[in-house]
Structure 1
Amino acid sequence: MKAIVVGAGVIGMLQARDLAHNGFDVVLYDQGQLGREASWAGGGIISPLYPWRYLAPVTALAKRSQAIYAELIEDLEAESGIDPEISHHGLLVLNVEDQQAALNWAENNASWMETISAEHLYDLEPKLKTGFASSLWMPKVASVRNPRLLRALRTIMNLHAAITVRENQKIAGIDEGRVSLLSGEIDYADLVVVCSGAWTSQLMPQISSEIEPVKGQMLVFDAPVGLVNRVVLSDGR
């Protein structure tokens, strides 16, 4: 059995790995290099930023992902020799306007969240600016180092005998087990998995017209160790 995976971000590479582990010969396509688009620029937070503002299916998917992520990271490190550096230091959310909605969501979904006082807040993050009276605290939220996670996945893609990597390959279209490349080449498979994220609407407009990119920005600070010890979210940043 042959599978084609289109898009080699975190999800695409994990799909390719899973398919190869289940007996498929996998061809992994990306329009650029493996793991160099949105996955590279992500913050690595294993949670929606404001999880209570999403629909129930997103909550269900996030909870399942969070439950298995630590074991996944262990497996990836064992297979690649690269530690993606998962952190279990939690998530602090400041300046929450809909705090009661957040607490109701947590109670209804058995997700650990609590309101903590300023004293506890500054015990957790003593370098925060003064003036916060309280915060929402989600101690079970973890995060990973995206570049290291992607490096581990790229290593596995290149080492696995059942996975063929094809970078810098632009796809013209996808239809019923057939992938057409801009070069004119056509590739066939028993299964085609599309993991192209914001680019999906260009490849499959008939089923993905509502998929569109959103803009985000990442800043890298040369900060001393210990300046910030966990994920801190305030006003959407």
Structure 2
Amino acid sequence: MANQSSDVLIIGGGVIGLSLAHQLALEKCSVTLLERGQIGQEASTAGAGILSPQAEMDQMSPLTDLCVASRDLYSNFVQEFISRSGIDIEFSKSGLLYVALSEEEQAELEKRYQWQIRTGLAVQRLTGQEARRIERDLSPEVRTALFFPEEAYVDNVKLLEAMTIACGLLKVRLVTGCQAISVKSQGQRVTGVDTNLGMWPTERAIIAAGSWSNMIDVPLPHKVPIKPARGQLIAVNCPALLLKHVTYSANGYVVPRRDGRVFLGSTVEWVGYDKNVTLEGLHRIISGALAVFPRMKSFAFSSCWAGLRPYCEDGAPVLGPTEIEGLFFATGHFRNGLLLAPITAKLMTDLIVIGKPPKVLESFSPARFKPN
């Protein structure tokens, strides 16, 4: 039996693919989403759920603008999925603390403070003593800190569960165990996607396959340079609600969750598609966390895991149309896939429904990789 055609076919069932599917379905498009494994089981649920453009970005840029705009959409974004799914998604806009433990780190924080103040972002400079009033178990070695009141975090596992339910309610066809092999075209127009489960006819295909995006054969004269970056994380059990805020340092982060766990992260490793957890990685994460919160040395270990983030060679995501009519990319979000999901879904849906690329997408166009 032939696979059913759809208005839009999305390759990839992570947070980006699901966000796109949901938004397009709201615009009355028929949508099929193909996922090589299970829905939301790669980078989207492997992270700590941090939504932190101000802590992640080192300068003002089109990517910083995009991340801040997407963070500002997040409260309504989460509420939409709570309403549709009935799942209580943990979302907290409690702010983020970024600490410095050395003179060099203090100088780097001052640079971050200055460019963010100049661009009108909300940031507060704190002494070590003031930082310990916010988080009383911080190390006495903390010299200074920045507090970003607009930063947030979300329970990414619950969010993906809610998104899957919401897409189902909107009649999005979710196909798991379906490995996309190639995008087919006739002339300069997309005609379908060939998979291990046969051909899926469509006139519009979006590659949102994260670290696996580069493995799909496309009718372009060039590759979009995406590669995986392994990130390892640890969960420990906190004996009481001692930690109140996501806390960053130069060597990692600590994320408290309502269920009593605390997430410690993370590494960035160029090891291909290897998702093993290593002693070296765990040692690096634990050392970074204990330098900031020494009291955590008595916390009980809960679990550890690793995920693969999709990294593009120039550090920016790949968003927008290609020279093949009907072929789009929405990938390469690296550490900011969860954060950028609302704005990616909005801009890409506007592009597909209206047919004109929003100007903000120019900096992220796949065309930047065309050979000279």
TM-score between both structures, scaled by the size of structure 1: 0.92
Matched AA of 2:243: V
RMSD of aligned alpha carbons: 1.8
Query: Could you tell me whether the CA contact under 8 Å between 1:94 and 1:135 is conserved in 2?
Result: yes
Matched AA of 2:248: L
For 2:217 and 2:76, the matched residues in 1 are separated by 33
For 1:56 and 1:49, the matched residues in 2 are separated by 12
For 1:30 and 1:73, the matched residues in 2 are separated by 23
Q: Does 1:173 align with 2:182?
A: yes
Q: Does 1:182 align with 2:191?
A: no
TM-score between both structures, scaled by the size of structure 2: 0.60
Per-residue CA deviation, residues 150-183 of structure 1 (Å, 9 max, x unaligned), is: 111111123222x111011111112424211034
Instruction: Give 4+ residue runs of structure 1 displaced > 4 Å after superposition.
Output: 204-208
For 1:118 and 1:64, the matched residues in 2 are separated by 30
For 1:208 and 1:218, the matched residues in 2 are separated by 31
For 2:58 and 2:225, the matched residues in 1 are separated by 19
Q: CA deviation at 1:55?
A: 6.1
For 2:54 and 2:215, the matched residues in 1 are separated by 27
Which consecutive unaligned segments of at least 5 residues does structure 2 have?
1-5, 185-189, 253-372
**Equivalent residue number for residue 48 of structure 2:** 43
Distance 1:211 1:55, change over 3 A: farther
The within-5 A match list for 1:11-26 is 11-26=16-31
Query: Could you tell me whether the CA contact under 8 Å between 2:54 and 2:148 is conserved in 1?
Result: no
Query: Could you tell me whether the CA contact under 8 Å between 1:7 and 1:194 is conserved in 2?
Result: yes
Q: Does 1:138 align with 2:145?
A: no
Matched AA of 1:3: V
Q: Does 1:220 align with 2:235?
A: yes
Per-residue CA deviation, residues 188-222 of structure 1 (Å, 9 max, x unaligned), is: 21321111111111115755442111111111111
Query: Could you tell me whether the CA contact under 8 Å between 1:44 and 1:146 is conserved in 2?
Result: yes
Secondary structure class of the residue paired with 1:32? coil
For 1:54 and 1:177, the matched residues in 2 are separated by 41
Distance 1:12 1:90, change over 3 A: same
**Equivalent residue number for residue 173 of structure 2:** 164
Of Structure 1 and Structure 2, the greater strand share is in 2
Higher alpha-carbon deviation: 138-147 or 48-57: 48-57
Higher alpha-carbon deviation: 223-232 or 56-65: 223-232
The structure showing larger relative contact order (alpha-carbon pairs under 8 Å, at least 6 residues apart) is: 1
**Equivalent residue number for residue 32 of structure 1:** 37
The within-5 A match list for 1:59-208 is 59-95=64-100, 96=105, 97-161=107-171, 163-175=172-184, 176-183=190-197, 185-204=198-217, 206=220, 207-208=222-223
For 1:203 and 1:14, the matched residues in 2 are separated by 21
Distance 1:104 1:15, change over 3 A: same
Distance 1:109 1:51, change over 3 A: farther
Query: Could you tell me whether the CA contact under 8 Å between 2:36 and 2:178 is conserved in 1?
Result: yes
Query: Identical aligned pairs, as a percentage?
Result: 25
